[in-house]
């Protein structure tokens, strides 16, 4: 049976859900992965009112769409980030009263992430995707020298922040799926292992697998799946293209997405370097049956064309595992 194909609404938050839902259905999608900003999903309202969730569900149902996950990335980022510059003022749905106050931002974000567990339960989904931020990302290049103790302290800080959040997830029967991503506490295979170890491998914490964030780092996305077969709680379908030409650098030279002198950039699925067939084969092997959710980001392509093209691409690459060995009939 084919996995449902959904699209993450974060890149479409400029459109109200009532307009977005029929548009996405017309592209061929089965559902939406609702972003917790714009008017797509309000965590505080959803945690307080099952009627609010019923209303959001009704908007989707009217267009023949389902929902399997909500995504609270922006709030999650503030839980462990330093929050010490203006970039996080007004970030996502953080109140203006928190601006320029790192710890007010953090306290609000922790509360909101806890609420997202009950909000997901009221919405009838089992997974909240998102970010954690990181207190040690800025220490990535070890100069001035960074000690092992400083890194260990960063993982302890992450665990101290997230264990109480995950207690609420356990209470509600919901799982959190970290999108492994540069700027997060886990951004590759080894840091993902460290994050799990910091949390004593508690089951509430797993991963939103997104190959686009691995491939440009030189990490094989299939190896990530092999490393964490029981922790893949959700899957993003997103692509990236490495464009190193002898002048461009993998750190992208402080150039924003879409600028020509970057060493890599995001692409619409099927237009980059990710080997999606091998990913589908490995997802089949580990028994993942959840949504394949397009996170559409491509600065060189019109987004409605890209979203429709991505839906067709994903449905074309998804296939069920074999029921047995191809040559089993020979022995009959």
Distance (Å, whole) CA 158 – CA 99: 22
Decide if 41 contacts 32 (C-beta within 8 A). Answer: no
Helix (H, G, I), strand (E, B) or coil at 129: strand
- DSSP conformation class of 326: T
Q: Would you say 151 and 139 are in contact if contact means Cβ atoms under 8 Å apart?
A: yes
- Please, which contacts does 13-16 make with residues 24 or more away whose CB atoms are closer than 8 Å? 13/37, 13/38, 13/40, 14/38
| Secondary structure class of 301 (helix, strand, coil) | coil
Contact by Cβ (8 Å): 221, 228: no
Give the C-alpha separation, 255 to 283, whole Å: 34
Contact 81, 119 (CB under 8 A): no
Report pLDDT digits (tens) over 277-330: 999 999 999 999 999 999 999 999 999 999 999 999 999 999 999 877 666 666
Domains and CATH numbers, the chain: 5-331 (3.20.20.150)
The conformational region for residue 215 under phi > 0 = left, psi -120 to 50 = alpha, else beta, is alpha
- In angstroms, what CA-CA distances link 243 with 52, 160, 208, 216, 217? 45, 39, 26, 9, 12
- Number of residues in the chain: 332
HSE at residue 265, side-chain half, CA atoms within 13 A, is 20
CA distances from 131 to 33, 201, 205, 242, 285 (A): 15, 18, 12, 24, 27
Per-residue pLDDT of the chain (332 residues; tens, 9 = 90+): 589 999 999 999 999 999 999 999 999 999 999 999 999 999 999 999 999 999 999 999 999 999 999 999 999 999 999 999 999 999 999 999 999 999 999 999 999 999 999 999 999 999 999 999 999 999 999 999 999 999 999 999 999 999 999 999 999 999 999 999 999 999 999 999 999 999 999 999 999 999 999 999 999 999 999 999 999 999 999 999 999 999 999 999 999 999 999 999 999 999 999 999 999 999 999 999 999 999 999 999 999 999 999 999 999 999 999 877 666 666 66
Per residue in 101-139, pLDDT (tens digit) is 999 999 999 999 999 999 999 999 999 999 999 999 999
101 CB-contact burial (10 Å; exposed 0-12 / middle 13-18 / buried 19+)? middle
């Amino acid at each position: 049976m084919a996995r449902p194909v959904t699209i993450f609404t974060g890149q479409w938050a400029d459109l109200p859900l009532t307009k977005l839902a029929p548009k996405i259905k017309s592209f061929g999608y089965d559902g939406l992965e609702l972003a917790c900003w714009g008017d797509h999903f309000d965590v505080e309202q959803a945690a307080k009112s099952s009627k609010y969730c019923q209303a959001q569900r009704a908007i989707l149902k009217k267009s023949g769409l389902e929902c399997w996950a909500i995504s609270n990335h922006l709030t999650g980022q503030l839980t462990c980030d330093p929050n010490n510059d203006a970039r996080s003022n007004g970030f996502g749905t953080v109140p203006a009263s928190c601006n320029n106050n790192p710890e007010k931002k953090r306290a609000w974000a922790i509360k909101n992430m806890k609420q997202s567990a009950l909000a997901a339960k009221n919405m009838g989904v089992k997974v909240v995707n998102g970010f954690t931020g990181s207190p040690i990302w800025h220490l990535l290049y070890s100069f001035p020298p960074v000690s092992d103790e400083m890194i260990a302290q960063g993982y302890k800080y992450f665990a101290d922040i997230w264990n109480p959040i995950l207690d609420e997830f356990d209470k509600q029967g919901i799982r959190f799926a970290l999108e492994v991503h540069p700027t997060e506490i886990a951004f590759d295979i080894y840091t993902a292992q460290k994050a799990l170890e910091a949390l004593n491998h508690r089951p509430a914490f797993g991963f939103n697998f997104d190959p686009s964030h691995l491939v440009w780092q030189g990490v094989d996305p299939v190896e990530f799946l092999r490393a964490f077969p029981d922790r893949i709680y959700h899957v993003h379908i997103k692509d990236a293209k490495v464009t190193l030409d002898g002048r461009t650098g993998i750190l992208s030279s402080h150039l924003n997405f879409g600028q020509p002198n970057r060493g890599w950039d995001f692409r619409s699925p099927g237009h980059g370097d990710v080997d999606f067939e091998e990913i589908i084969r490995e997802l089949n092997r580990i028994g993942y049956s959840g949504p394949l959710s397009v996170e559409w980001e491509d600065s060189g392509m019109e987004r409605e064309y890209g979203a429709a093209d991505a839906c067709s691409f994903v449905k074309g690459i998804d296939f069920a595992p074999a029921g047995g060995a191809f040559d089993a009939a020979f022995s009959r």
